Amino acid sequence: MTFPVSRPRRLRRTAALRRLVAETRLSVDDLVAPLFVREGIDEPQPVASLPGVFQHTRASLRAEVSALHDLGVPGVILFGIPERKDAVGSEAWNPDGIVQVALRDLRDDLGDDMVLLADLCVDEYTDHGHCGVLDGHGSVDNDATLELYARAAVAQADAGVDVTAPSGMMDGQVGAIRTALDDAGHHQTAILAYAAKYASALYGPFRDAVNVEIVGGEDRRGYQQDPPNAREATVEVGADLEEGADMVMVKPALAYLDVITDIRASVDVPLAAYHVSGEYAMVAAAAANGWLDGDAVGMEHLLAIRRAGADFILTYLAGRAAEILQG
Ligand code: PBG
């Protein structure tokens, strides 16, 4: 007697069947759009290496965020490009600094209907492009930098940020920021820690977007994680949670799907992944050449990041993906 055999193709026969048995779903609710706002410009400036991405004026940022809100995107993360940079990045905590004024604009426009996140680092604000203050040897001084992050976090919270997202990979940054926020009475301001952030070449186009050139000193390998190390990500995440992180992130996403899966298995807080500038640029460039279907590949990327275990995704595809998901 022969037994009936399982025939997996039976469940792939129609789109409705495939939809029914899908193990992973991607929703507009899972998307956060990274946005750039630049001080002192009158017109939005396109970013050459990120087609479709702009350095916004305050006004064009408001319009973009309203459009994203209408598409159902639940959150945006802001990056600022100041007119003046200095050795310590003081525009990062200026109450009238570009991100702080933009946060106030967006809160006025949208109230609590949009989650406002802000990247917390000083590389966009320092004249040398590093994520902190340099010591006499060209190395980023960890503990001196923590004081700058604490000030910037309080400035962002004063301006109404919902979630501050420290991305500098300094040891102890989450604890320093949590203490500073609490001391300033900002108990409700949440922290999304860029906990496992790798020293990746995939951030290249981002540095165009924020006009950052790293001049002198060590490269980011002295503070960002080394790509060969996956177990170390668990250590980084554990430290950030102990220091008070509310959510953690893995970055980049696609080249680190194993890390996303590992972290998902080891923690129960919300887990984000950042589909970074280089990941977006590769798809956009190939699509522009007609070498692949940019929309299809983009959606496949986002689905893969969800399948690996991320709850939500920071992605330059947020607006486009929301349009596609709305059908
Ligand atoms: C640091 C920061 C970077 C990115 C996000 N936050 C750049 C870096 O670490 O060099 C990269 C994001 C991307 O590539 O899309 N402020």
**pLDDT tens digit sequence for 262-277:** 999 999 999 999 999 9
CA of 200 to the centre of ligand 1 (A): 9
Q: Which residues of 86-109 are buried (b: 16+ CB within 10 A; e: fewer)?
A: eebbbbbbbeebbbbbbbbbbbee
Amino acid at 133: V
- What value does the mean pLDDT take over residues 226-243? 97
pLDDT at 1 over 80: no
Question: Would you place residue 17 in the very low, low, confident or very high pLDDT band (cuts 50, 70, 90)?
Answer: very high
pLDDT at 72 over 90: yes
pLDDT at 2 over 90: no
Residue 262 falls inside a structural domain: no
| CB distance 180 to 150 below 8 Å | yes
- What value does the mean pLDDT take over residues 109-135? 96
Ligand 1 neighbours, Cβ below 6 Å, are 119, 121, 123, 167, 203, 206, 220, 276-277
Q: Enter the DSSP assignment of 252.
A: S
From the candidates 251, 301, 306, 320, give the one annotated as an active-site residue. Answer: 251
- Residue 309 confidence (pLDDT): 98
Residue 271 falls inside a structural domain: no
If you take atom 2 of ligand 1, which residue's CA is the nearest one? 167
Best mutation site among 50, 85, 117, 121 for ligand 1 pocket (most ligand atoms within 8 Å of CB): 121
Question: Which residue shows structure tokens 């607006």?
Answer: 319
pLDDT at 116 over 90: yes
pLDDT at 182 over 90: yes
CA of 27 to the centre of ligand 1 (A): 24
The set of residues, in sequence order, having a beta carbon less than 8 Å from that of 294 and lying 6+ positions away, is 283, 284, 286, 287, 288
**Token digits for 112?**
């609590």
- What value does the mean pLDDT take over residues 105-126? 97
CA of 21 to the centre of ligand 1 (A): 36
If you take atom 6 of ligand 1, which residue's CA is the nearest one? 167
Question: Would you place residue 59 in the very low, low, confident or very high pLDDT band (cuts 50, 70, 90)?
Answer: very high
Residue 14 falls inside a structural domain: no
Question: Would you place residue 138 in the very low, low, confident or very high pLDDT band (cuts 50, 70, 90)?
Answer: confident
Phi, psi of 321 (to 5 degrees): -65, -40
Residue 69 falls inside a structural domain: yes
Q: In the predicted model, what is the mean pLDDT of the chain?
A: 96
Residue 324 falls inside a structural domain: no
**Token digits for 57?**
């004026």
Best mutation site among 203, 208, 224, 256 for ligand 1 pocket (most ligand atoms within 8 Å of CB): 203
CA of 281 to the centre of ligand 1 (A): 14
| C-alpha span between 235 and 26 (Å, rounded) | 29
Residue 86 falls inside a structural domain: yes
Q: How many CB atoms lie within 10 A of CB 210?
A: 21
Of the chain, the percentage scoring pLDDT greater than 70 comes to: 99
CATH of the domain at 196: 3.20.20.70
Residue 100 falls inside a structural domain: yes
CA of 237 to the centre of ligand 1 (A): 18
- What value does the mean pLDDT take over residues 101-111? 98
Phi, psi of 260 (to 5 degrees): -60, -45
pLDDT at 8 over 80: yes
pLDDT at 77 over 80: yes
| C-alpha span between 273 and 249 (Å, rounded) | 5
pLDDT at 78 over 80: yes
Residue 85 appears among annotated catalytic residues = no
Q: How many CB atoms lie within 10 A of CB 148?
A: 26
- Residue 6 confidence (pLDDT): 86
* Residue from 236, 246, 271, 122 nearest 178 by CA: 246
From the candidates 56, 130, 197, 306, give the one annotated as an active-site residue. Answer: 197
Q: State the closest ligand 1 atom to the C-alpha of 123, by its place in the atom list counted from 1.
A: 16
First to last CA, the chain: 49
If you take atom 8 of ligand 1, which residue's CA is the nearest one? 203
CA of 67 to the centre of ligand 1 (A): 24
**Range list of β-strands (E), 50-198:** 54-56, 75-81, 115-120, 163-166, 190-197
If you take atom 14 of ligand 1, which residue's CA is the nearest one? 203
- Residue 219 confidence (pLDDT): 80
Question: Would you place residue 104 in the very low, low, confident or very high pLDDT band (cuts 50, 70, 90)?
Answer: very high
Residue 242 falls inside a structural domain: yes
What domain range includes position 40? 25-248
Q: State the closest ligand 1 atom to the C-alpha of 280, by its place in the atom list counted from 1.
A: 15
pLDDT at 137 over 90: no
- What value does the mean pLDDT take over residues 53-66? 98
| C-alpha span between 111 and 267 (Å, rounded) | 31
Of the chain, the percentage scoring pLDDT greater than 90 comes to: 93
Of 55-64, 117-126, 131-140, 198-207, the least confident? 131-140
Compute the Cα dihedral for 268, 270, 274, 275 and give only its sign. Answer: positive
The total of structural domains in the chain comes to 1
Q: How many CB atoms lie within 10 A of CB 28?
A: 17
pLDDT, tens digit, 9 for 90 and up, residues 288-301: 999 999 999 999 99
Q: State the closest ligand 1 atom to the C-alpha of 169, by its place in the atom list counted from 1.
A: 9
If you take atom 16 of ligand 1, which residue's CA is the nearest one? 121
- What value does the mean pLDDT take over residues 307-317? 98
Best mutation site among 192, 206, 276 for ligand 1 pocket (most ligand atoms within 8 Å of CB): 206
